[in-house]
C-alpha cells in the first residue's frame, strides 16, 4: 500500500478502544501532519491516543510530515480545522493512496480533491475482513460507549451486515 495520511479523530477513536495498532497491521506505516501531532499528543494530555501515538512514532510506524503548499492550506483552513486542513493538504501534495478521516466536512473536501478515504468504521470493517479482529460488534459498541463516537443506527446495522454479523 502507498502513503496513508491520518487525521486526529481516527487516531483518538481507535486508541480509545485499544485498537490503534490496527493501523500498523493494515498499512505498516502512516503519516500525520504537525497539527494532528499537536492535537493528539501535545495537547492530548492523558486522553486516549496521546501516549499510544507518541509510542507509535517512537516505534517508527507513525511519522510527522509538514505540508508545504501554503496556498492550498490557507484555502482548506477556511472551512476545516487545522488538523483536517493539514491532513488533506498533505494527502494532495504527497498523492496519498488513502486518507483517514471521520468528519463529514473533511470527507466532502477529500472528495473534491479526489482522495480515497475511509474512517474508523471502515477501518474496523477491513480489520474484521482481514482477520485482525474476531467480531466487529464489540468494537462498534465500545466506540459508541467509551469512545464517545456517534454512529447512526442505520450505519451500525450496515457495518455489521457488511461482515456477516447481526445487530
Range of the domain at 79: 4-120
Confidence category of residue 1, pLDDT binned at 50, 70, 90: low
pLDDT of residue 167: 59
Is residue 116 domain-shared with residue 36, that is, in the same domain?
yes
Domain count, the chain: 2
- 134 and 116 in a common domain: no
Rounded Cα distance between 129 and 164, Å, is 10
Residue 131 makes CB contacts below 8 A (sequence gap 6+) with none
Burial class (CB within 10 angstroms; exposed 0-12, middle 13-18, buried 19+) of 40: buried
Residue 149 has a pLDDT of 85
Tell me if 65 is assigned to some domain: yes
Confirm whether 21 is domain-assigned: yes
pLDDT tens-digit map of 74-102: 999 999 999 999 999 999 999 999 999 99
If asked whether residues 23 and 87 sit together in one domain, one would say yes
Nearest alpha carbon to residue 89 among 72, 106, 101 = 72
Whether residue 11 contacts residue 42, with contact meaning beta carbons closer than 8 Å, is answered with no
Give the CATH number for residue 116: 3.40.50.1010
Whether residue 12 lies inside any domain: the answer is yes
* pLDDT per residue as tens digits for the range 123-142: 999 999 999 999 999 999 99
Per-residue pLDDT tens over the stretch 37-85: 999 999 988 887 899 999 999 999 999 999 999 999 999 999 999 999 9
In this model, does residue 147 exceed pLDDT 90? no
Residue 41 belongs to some domain of the structure: yes
Amino acid at each position: 500500500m502507498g502513503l496513508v495520511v491520518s487525521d486526529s479523530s481516527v487516531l483518538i477513536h481507535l486508541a480509545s478502544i485499544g485498537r490503534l495498532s490496527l493501523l500498523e497491521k493494515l498499512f505498516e506505516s502512516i503519516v500525520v501532519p504537525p497539527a494532528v501531532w499537536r492535537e493528539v499528543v501535545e495537547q492530548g494530555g492523558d486522553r486516549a491516543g496521546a501516549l499510544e501515538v507518541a509510542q507509535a512514532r517512537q516505534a517508527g510506524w507513525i511519522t510527522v510530515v509538514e505540508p508545504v503548499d501554503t496556498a492550498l492550506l490557507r484555502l482548506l483552513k477556511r472551512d476545516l480545522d487545522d488538523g483536517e486542513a493539514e491532513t488533506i493538504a498533505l494527502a494532495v501534495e504527497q498523492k496519498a493512496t488513502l486518507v483517514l478521516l471521520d468528519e463529514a466536512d473533511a470527507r466532502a473536501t477529500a472528495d473534491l480533491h479526489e482522495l480515497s478515504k475511509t474512517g474508523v468504521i471502515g477501518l474496523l470493517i477491513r480489520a474484521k475482513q482481514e482477520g485482525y479482529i474476531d467480531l466487529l460488534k464489540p468494537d462498534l459498541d465500545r466506540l459508541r460507549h467509551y469512545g464517545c463516537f456517534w454512529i447512526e443506527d442505520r450505519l451500525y446495522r450496515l457495518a455489521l451486515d457488511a461482515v456477516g454479523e447481526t445487530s
